[in-house]
Amino acid sequence: MNRVLVAGIGNVFLGDDGFGVEVVRRMDPSAVPGSVVVADYGIRGVHLAYELLGGAYDTLIMVDAVELDGPPGTVAVLEIDDEPAPDALPPVNGHGMHPQAVLDLLGKLGGGVPRVLLVGCRPQVVDEVMGLSEPVAAAVESTVAAVTALARDETYRQSDRERADA
């Protein structure tokens, strides 16, 4: 079984930026295999990079508010290349690291994750306010179900190498 980390990312004090945190908060850990860890990383991007540094996970699923095409509340799953941007110096600001900055820092530290997925939701409000906007809040339950299924699928997914060896 693959080891999967589901990481909720975001700042609950900035409205819809707290989307990822709310999704992982509502996930039922008993609904996923034991090799899946569900964690709220909130604004602790540096901690997430260090957690990944040890190579303990085969797949990282980040859940966050991201700018996507479509109206607020639109959700998409994106596969992310975890290679650091050339010559990029990621901001080491624990309170402001977005998903790519976490991956850039991880790469600069010499680590990586074989597979990285981002489950993103287009925000409506990213301002100093508590709580999610109506369209983003409406997307939470279906995203919980989708991330749970994705984590389960990733646990049993064969890597390209395993398929070639079979």
Query: What confidence score (pLDDT) does residue 102 get?
Result: 86
pTM of the full structure: 0.88
Per-residue pLDDT, averaged over 133-140, amounts to 98
Q: What value does the CA radius of gyration of the chain take, rounded to a whole number of Å?
A: 15
Q: What is the pLDDT of residue 83?
A: 54
In sequence order, what DSSP letters do the residues of 39-93 get, joined into one string?
Answer: EEEET-HHHHHHHHHT---SEEEEEEE---SSSTT-EEEEEE--SPPTT------
Nearest to 80 by CA among 7, 1, 164: 7
Residue % of the chain over a pLDDT of 90: 68
pLDDT (tens digit, 9 = 90+) per residue, 7-23?
999 999 999 999 999 99
Does residue 107 contact residue 47 with C-beta atoms inside 8 Å? no
pLDDT, mean of residues 132-145 = 98
DSSP single-letter state for residue 123? -
pLDDT band, very low/low/confident/very high, at 159 (cuts 50, 70, 90): low
The chain-wide mean pLDDT, for the chain, equals 87
pLDDT of residue 96: 59
Distance of CA 128 to CAs 20, 42, 48, 78, 121, Å? 17, 15, 24, 27, 18
Q: Yes or no: say if 62 and 23 are a contact pair by the CB < 8 Å rule.
A: no
Give Cβ neighbours of residue 11 (< 8 Å, ≥ 6 apart): 17, 18, 42, 43, 95
For the ranges 85-89, 90-94, 141-145, the one whose mean pLDDT is highest: 141-145
- Give tens-digit pLDDT for 27-58: 999 999 999 999 999 988 888 998 999 899 99
pLDDT at 163: 55
pLDDT tens sequence across 90-106: 444 444 567 888 888 88
